[in-house]
A and B are shown apart, each in its own frame.
Chain A
């Protein structure tokens, strides 16, 4: 499941001397490179799915059930309906990645907008916004997802809406803290005293200074949201069959795991893990770039 509290460095780097610093920077760069490579690889696979996937992801063939990985023509084997697992993974990437990108983009936009607004308006408006956000915290995510599922009917929109509802408060809180900090800085005062208007201060002065934070936090969210959306789909209130989706594949594989066909569920789970890890690494690396002074100790 998700824990949105995370994006923060685990590495408490107490930098001592230039050698130590160089070493840690080198590791960060390598980490980002690996993460980017993994992400680009999977994005390309999804974009080029019709060209890359060896079979139609929904082409069932009863005579080819449960082929083990490495079977001729079916590199990763087939599932309970004789569908090619590799092809379903490639097409499933489309569904899973698109859901994650859309929902994270929406929630970072919405959360940041709320944070900027709250940070630059009077006590009343900002109080109202932050209180609303407190109330949003009172709902465990799963409860929101179930409620949305009964209203909208199970499907992709439920997953996106649930993720947005769940992550907006976190984004808003983190960015709000950042905005409030910027607000007290001299450059903001200076531009106000020079006669800059509300929107000009907000968008031309403050936004450029918090955009790094926003990007970092958003990137960190993507991994968790891929995991979360896969779990929702596995539960049956997300992506509906026969659409190929990583989460859906896990739950379909779960039904046949007792009979010894473990690969059907194993592969999609591994893919989710690798992609989610890559996004987290990228987020950590980006933070080091955008936010060098927070590299030291962060609670």
Chain B
């Protein structure tokens, strides 16, 4: 019961954040200069017709009414009409958003598995060559531009070695799950890179701190084997902060994914949003912002709940 109450409280906390997010997102439309309606229709329509179109978009109402209209349109009208595509925003975005989610999920998986692995290896060999080597790798990697790193991967593994496809999401003649995975490897690694290294740092630090603690020293002196110490005691204690970092890093990862999409021609919402910038298609951008922000909030919420569930000290 206590856990449920806790989750509900967290949910309640999200409400003001949602409100601010929605107001700021709405503000994008208000603040975008220029008159997209004019630009789009002035040449082919009479001024009266242009005015009628403006009316149909509800752009003559007071701001607060427009805000509520926009909120309603998110639910009922698919986020309003995209100016460039002349179709409901979510109809345009959702198919690509699915692809973005696939890439993000791959990124999270790579980040979690390899981040923790590197951290464990470095942490357990603290101060020795393997640790130094891993930390050098982490430091250099953290300063790489995701965009450029993606290019280098393409150059090495797609163009030189020809192990993996250069870009896109599936081969021209289609292909099943294996084909998708092949296309996911390089962009997934690029998108995960920075978060993976942050996670590796935290895991390593956690392992070192825990390993130096008194209870571990006692266990070790009693002859408890290393793997059992790591798996049962150290692992358990560093898991909550590690999960927390993974959750927090998803924001960084989403940003990485958008960059990576442009490098690998991944058909996600990143490309759509950048194109929307050039077309001043603010409804599309608003829709994109809402989608990404909602996902991010949801992930943070789930992370909080997961961390609480993993931490026996907070468990009620």
Contacts and interface: CB of A to CB of B under 8 A. Distances in A.
Interface of A: 1-3, 5-6, 8, 10-12, 14, 131, 134-135, 137-143, 146-147, 149-151, 153-154, 223-224, 227, 230-231, 234-237, 247, 250-251, 253-254, 257-258, 262, 265-266, 268-269, 272-273, 276-277, 280, 297-299
A273 B166 contact: no
B147 A251 contact: yes
A3 B249 contact: yes
B71 interface: no
B185 interface: no
Contact of A227 (B144, B154, B198): B144
B9 to A, nearest CB: 15
Nearest to A227: B145
Nearest to A12: B208
Nearest to B30: A151
B255 A273 contact: no
A143 B145 contact: no
Given A1-B259, A143-B288, A138 B17 contact: yes
Interface in B241-282: 248-249, 251-252, 254-256, 258-259, 262-263, 270, 273-274, 276-278, 280-282
B24 to A, nearest CB: 8
Given A12-B208, A142-B255, A1 B194 contact: yes
| Closest 5 pairs (CB-CB, A-B) | A269-B148, A142-B255, A276-B143, A140-B251, A149-B277
21 contacts: A1-B145, A1-B255, A2-B194, A2-B252, A5-B249, A11-B135, A138-B293, A139-B24, A140-B252, A140-B254, A142-B258, A147-B289, A150-B285, A230-B145, A234-B147, A235-B258, A237-B274, A272-B145, A272-B148, A273-B144, A276-B143
A265 B258 contact: no
Interface string B179-213: 00000000000000011011001101110110010
A235 B139 contact: no
B60 to A, nearest CB: 21
A121 B245 CA distance: 30
Nearest to A158: B277
A135 B20 contact: yes
The contact size tier of chain B is 35 or more
B291 to A, nearest CB: 9
A141 B208 contact: no
Which of A3, A8, A234, A235: most chain B CB closer than 10 A?
A3
Nearest to B255: A142
A200 to B, nearest CB: 35
A3 B252 contact: yes
A3 B140 contact: no
Interface string B148-167: 10011011000100000010
Contact of B151 (A5, A131, A235, A254): A254
Nearest to B20: A135
B28 A3 contact: no
Given A3-B249, A3-B252, A151-B31, A237 B147 contact: no
Which of B25, B166, B249, B278: most chain A CB closer than 10 A?
B278
Nearest to A279: B143
A237 B255 CA distance: 14
Contacts of B276: 146, 150
B147 A257 contact: no
Nearest to B25: A147
Interface string B21-32: 100110010011
A10 B201 contact: yes
Nearest to A136: B20
B112 to A, nearest CB: 15
